[in-house]
Amino acid sequence: MLRLISKGFIILIVCFAFSLNAQVINIENKRFLNDTNGWVGNVDFNFNVFNNTQQVLQFSNVIRVQYQKNRSRFILLNDLNFIKAGNTDFANAGYQHFRYNYKVSKWVTLEAFTQTQYNPVLKLDFRYLLGAGPRLKLLKKENARIYIAALYMYEYDDIMNDEVNLYEHRLSSYVTCSFLIFKTIDLTSTTFYQPNIENTSDYRIANDSGLEIHINKHLNFKSSFNMLYDTKQPVGIPDLVYSFRNGLSIKF
């Protein structure tokens, strides 16, 4: 029984780690939706030890900081996650993301970003991104928001056990939306399309969606879906990777 509980615990935290470290990072659900000048942010740090038939170590660090100054907005993100069970590393992944937004008009914002990332479980030893382009606001109301963007992105990939490093030029386009339905249902979704400009048969499609139903003032139902389809995954990694999670949130 203890061995079964131990294995179940490992599977649970590993699945959670994978959901946090997909190869296409969605920062839309990490933006602070305030337009006032100044700093806002949060820092999470977790260290857990579970010891039964084997020792499980888990470490995570999440930083989310945003600074607003008139038309300019700076966003800094850091996400690190490490899980080791016995002598096996189940997860050792993370990313650092910095983004600058400049609001040109009510409907148009210019974005520039840089990102470093690693995920050995998916054979990604190191990835570096640098991009820029316009972000357009299609709709912004109290109960609905829709944005689209088409950014140029330079990408460098160092794949594990592959002597050839990849230098690519991609289009990073996305559409992101959020809806509040009947004041009790929150629906959010972001879809990315990232084709290689020089080889359009090499592309990625990713989706990150969430549903939250406010059952009453103490109970919420949450559901999330994360998907990545990549036509040029490293050898041994499936083209389609996804996760689907459901749960309840209880408030006191």
DSSP per position, 6-26:
HHHHHHHHHHHHHHH--SS--
Model confidence at 153: pLDDT above 70:
yes
Residue 17 has pLDDT above 50, yes or no: no
pTM exceeds 0.75 for this model: yes
113-131: average pLDDT: 91
Of the listed ranges 49-53, 80-84, 115-119, 228-232, the least confidently predicted one is: 49-53
Give yes or no for residue 34 having a pLDDT over 80.
no
Cβ(233)–Cβ(243) under 8 Å?
Answer: no
* C-alpha–C-alpha distance, residues 237 and 121, integer Å: 9
If you average pLDDT over residues 143-150, what whole number do you get?
95
The pair of three-digit structure tokens given for residue 137, joined into one six-digit string: 């606001």
User: Which residue is it, tokens 């999470």?
Assistant: 44
Confidence at residue 178, expressed as pLDDT on a 0 to 100 scale: 94
- Cβ contact 147:135 at 8 Å: yes
pLDDT at 19: 42
Which tens digits make up the pLDDT trace of 174-222?
A: 999 999 998 899 999 999 999 999 999 999 999 999 999 999 888 999 9
Range in 35-39, 83-87, 206-210, 245-249 with the lowest mean pLDDT: 83-87
Return left, alpha or beta for 131; rule: phi > 0 is left, psi -120 to 50 is alpha, else beta. Answer: beta
**Top mean-pLDDT range of 11-20, 36-45, 108-117, 118-127:** 108-117
If one compares 115 and 247, the residue with the highest pLDDT of the two is 115
Residue bearing the bigger pLDDT, 119 or 10:
119
- CATH classification of the domain holding 87: 2.40.160
The parent domain of residue 232 ranges over 2-250
Residue pair 20/46 in contact (Cβ under 8 Å)? The answer is no
| Euclidean distance between CA atoms 109 and 130, whole angstroms | 17
**The pLDDT value given to residue 22:** 55
Residue with tokens 């990150």, as numbered in its chain = 208
- pLDDT number for residue 58: 85
pLDDT mean across residues, the chain: 86
Q: How many structural domains are present in the chain?
A: 1
Average pLDDT over residues 120-143: 92
Q: Which residue has the higher pLDDT, 11 or 32?
A: 32
